[in-house]
Amino acid sequence: MLKPEDFYQALRDAEVAPIEGLVKKALAEGHPAADILNLGLIGGMSIIGKEFKARDLWVPDVLLAARNMKQGVEILRPLFSREGQKSKGRIILGTVKGDIHDIGKNLVSIMMSGSGFEVIDLGIDIPLEKFLAAIEEHKPQVLGLSALLTTTMLEMKKVIEAVRKSPLSEKPYVIVGGAPVTEAFAREIGADGYGADAVAAVEIASKLLESRA
């Protein structure tokens, strides 16, 4: 029986050995990689996400857990293709032009990857032309925009407008997030979704793709 609480404790550990040991133990017991990912790693990370929302944990705690989760996912990754695990979808992430902050975006990247998405992370200070070129090349179902500065928030609106006006045959859903971003602002600039944190971003992206299926 996979218990999210056990994985939660291992994700909180300062060393990666506990989470690696727990994942390997679960595999040895015959649990499918998908169950270990969803019930164990994501289940444990969801507890951390709730505690972070409640301000019982802080950013350094979440970063530590994200690092440990990434190690667990790396053990499982080679097994997904063998088990026929399909990608949930492709998502492009990037911090908008003028902003060089990436802690939140990196958390989203790890959580999206761990949740079964194919992630293309463009990095920081990304101009709208680079976003458009990446969309044309990779044809993602979702585009995730991040900003930590109030001065760069309006750059999100420019990217969204450019995506909507582009001649692309299939335009991706656009979700936004970052410390100064609110749900009201996301609606105002025409975003399809808003993630208050990495856990919420995964949930929003999943719901958007389910609605398109």
Along the 213 residues of the chain, how does pLDDT read in single tens digits?
Answer: 899 999 999 999 999 999 999 999 999 999 988 789 888 988 898 898 889 878 898 888 888 888 898 889 889 878 865 655 667 899 999 999 999 988 788 878 877 877 778 899 999 999 999 999 999 999 999 999 999 999 999 999 999 999 999 998 889 999 999 989 999 999 999 999 999 887 789 889 999 998 876
The domain boundary, picked from 19, 53, 82, lies at 82
The structure's pTM equals 0.72
- Same-domain pairing of 207 and 103: yes
Q: Count other Cβ atoms within 10 Å, centred on residue 61.
A: 15
Per-residue pLDDT, 10 = 97
Per-residue pLDDT, 213 = 63
Per-residue pLDDT, 85 = 61
Per-residue pLDDT, 83 = 58
The domain boundary, picked from 19, 49, 82, lies at 82
- Same-domain pairing of 73 and 175: no
- Same-domain pairing of 100 and 149: yes
End-to-end CA distance of the chain, in Å? 31
Per-residue pLDDT, 33 = 85
The domain boundary, picked from 82, 112, 146, lies at 82
Per-residue pLDDT, 112 = 84
Count structural domains, the chain.
Answer: 2
- Same-domain pairing of 141 and 163: yes
CA distances from 126 to 166, 178, 186, 201 (A): 17, 15, 19, 20
- Same-domain pairing of 138 and 106: yes
Give the residue numbers spanning the domain of 154: 89-212
Q: What is the CATH number of the domain that holds 60?
A: 1.10.1240.10
